[in-house]
Structure 1
Amino acid sequence: MDEERRPSISPPGKTPGATRKGIETRARIIRGALEALENGGMEALTTRKIAASAGVKLATLHYYFDSKENLLLAVLDDLIADMDTAYRQEMPLPADPLDRVEGLIRASWRYVQRTRNKQLAQTELTLYALRTQGADWLAARQYGAYIDFYSKLIFDGMGEMTEEKSRIGSAVARFMLIGIDGLILQNFSLYRDGDTNEGVETLVIATRDLLRRLQSEAGTTAG
C-alpha cells in the first residue's frame, strides 16, 4: 500500500474480520491509520507506520486491507460513525426541523472544535482522492457520506422519509456542509473565534431560511 499495489492474501471464501478477534484487529488497524493520518497527513500513511501504531504485523495489515483505498474507506466509515455517536449523545433531536438544523450546526461546530486533528485528516483524505489518478470516486464517496449523514438527521424520526423530504434534506445538508467546511478553514487558518462565531450564527440563520423556503415551495412542513 506504500508505493506498490499488493494483492489480497485473504483465504478463498473467507471474509477478513469475521471473528471477534478479527473484528478487534480490524478496528485496531483502522485506528492506527486514523492516528497516522491525523498526526502526519497522507505522507505518514505507510503500511509500516500503520502496523506499528496498530500493534500488528505487516502481513496482518495486508490480510485485512489489500489496498490503501479500501483502508481509507474504512477510515471514512469510522469518522462518520464517530460523528454520529458524538452528535446523538450531545443533543436531543428537536421535533421541529428548523430547530433541528440549528442544533445540528451548533453541535457540528462544537465537534469541530474538539476534533481539530480529525478535521485536518478529513481534508487530507479529500485532497489525496482528488490528486490521485483514479481515486476521485473516493472524494465523491466521502462527500456523499457527509451529505447523507446530515440529510438523514434532519428528518430522522419524523414519519416516512418521502422523496420530497429526501430532496429537501439533501439540499439543506449540502448547504450546511458548504458553510461548515468554510468555517473550518477560516478558523484553523486565522484563529479568530469572534469572526467564526459570527459565521456560525450567519450559517444558522441562512440554513433555517433555506429549509423554510424549500418546505414552503413543497407545500409541507415536513414534520
Structure 2
Amino acid sequence: MDEPRRPSSLHGTSHPGKIPGATRKGTETRARIIKGALEALENGGMEALTTRKIAASAGVRLATLHYYFDNKESLLLAVLEDLIADMAEAYQADIPASHDPQERIETVIRSMWRYVQRTRNKQLAQTELTLYALRTQGADWLAARQYNAYIDFYSKLIFDGMGEISEDKKQIGTAVARFMLIGIDGLILQNFALHNDGDTNEGVETLIIATQDLVRRLQAEARLAAG
C-alpha cells in the first residue's frame, strides 16, 4: 500500500476508504477485507499485515483490496472501528440499566475486564495498532483517534440512560473514562505478562473503588461550583 497518510475525509464515524454504492456484494467484500486484516493483526502483529496476506485471508484479489482501501491507514481505521463496534455490542448485552453512576462504574469495569479476558488476541491487536501509529511518521493521528474513541465510548456508558447529559456530566464522564483506561491498560499488560489472575482480580477491585471515589469527588466539586 502507499506511504502513510490520513484519509482525506473521515466524516465522524463513517468508514474510510472507497465505499461502493451501497451494494450488498460491495458491503460484504469490504467486511471480508476488514476481517482479514484483523485476523492477520491478531495472529501475527503488524509484520503479518501485508496486502498479500490480507487479500488471501479475505479471499479477494490485490486489486480489489486496493479499490476499497488505497493506503494502510484507511484500512487500519476501519479495523479500529470494527474493534470498537464489537466491544460496544458485547457491552450492550452485558451491562444492565442503572441510574446510579457508582453502580454503573462497577458494572462497566467488570464487564470491561470480562471482555478483555475472552478477547486476548484483540487486545494484543489494539496494542499493536497503537504502537504502529506512534512509530510511523504521519500516522500518529491514528493513535489519537483510537484513544479518543475509547474515551468517548466509556464516558457515555457512565451516565447512559440518565436523561439529558449536562456539560458537567460530560466533563466528569471524560475524566472518569480516562482514569479507567489508564487502569485497564495497566491491568492488561500486567495480566498478559505475568499470568497472575489473583493479582489482576485484586487490581480490578482496586480500580473499581478508586474510580468510584473519583466520580464522587468530581460530582461534589461540580455541585460546589454550581453554588
TM-score by length of 1: 0.92
Query: Within the alignment, does 1:178 sit opposite 2:182 as a pair?
Result: yes
CA distance in structure 1 between the partners assigned to 2:149 and 2:95 by the alignment: 21
Supply the AA of the counterpart residue of 2:118.
R
Q: Shift of the alpha carbon at 1:163?
A: 1.1
RMSD: 1.7
> Which stretches in structure 1 are left out of the alignment for 5+ residues?
9-13
Q: Shift of the alpha carbon at 1:17?
A: 5.8
Q: Shift of the alpha carbon at 1:16?
A: 2.7
Q: Shift of the alpha carbon at 1:160?
A: 1.0
Relative to 1, partners in 2 of residues 1:18 and 1:72: Cα closer, same or farther, differing over 3 Å?
same
Runs of 4+ in structure 1 displaced over 6 angstroms? none
Which of 138, 142, 147 pairs up with 2:146? Answer: 142
User: In the TM superposition, what whole-angstrom CA distance separates every residue of 1:4-25 from its partner, at most 9, and x where no partner exists?
Assistant: 449x9xxxxx843621111111
Question: 1:94 maps to which residue?
Answer: 98
> Which stretches in structure 2 are left out of the alignment for 5+ residues?
8-17
Supply the AA of the counterpart residue of 1:180.
I
Residues 168 and 214 in structure 1, CA contact (< 8 A), matched pair in contact too: yes
Residues 17 and 25 in structure 1, CA contact (< 8 A), matched pair in contact too: no
Q: How does 1:1-223 map to 2 (within 5 A)?
A: 1=1, 4-5=2-3, 15-16=19-20, 18-219=22-223
Q: Shift of the alpha carbon at 1:67?
A: 0.6
Percent identity between the two aligned chains? 80
Q: 2:141 is paired with a residue of what secondary structure?
A: helix
CA distance in structure 2 between the partners assigned to 1:193 and 1:160 by the alignment: 39
Question: 1:11 maps to which residue?
Answer: none
Q: Shift of the alpha carbon at 1:157?
A: 1.5
Q: Shift of the alpha carbon at 1:91?
A: 2.3
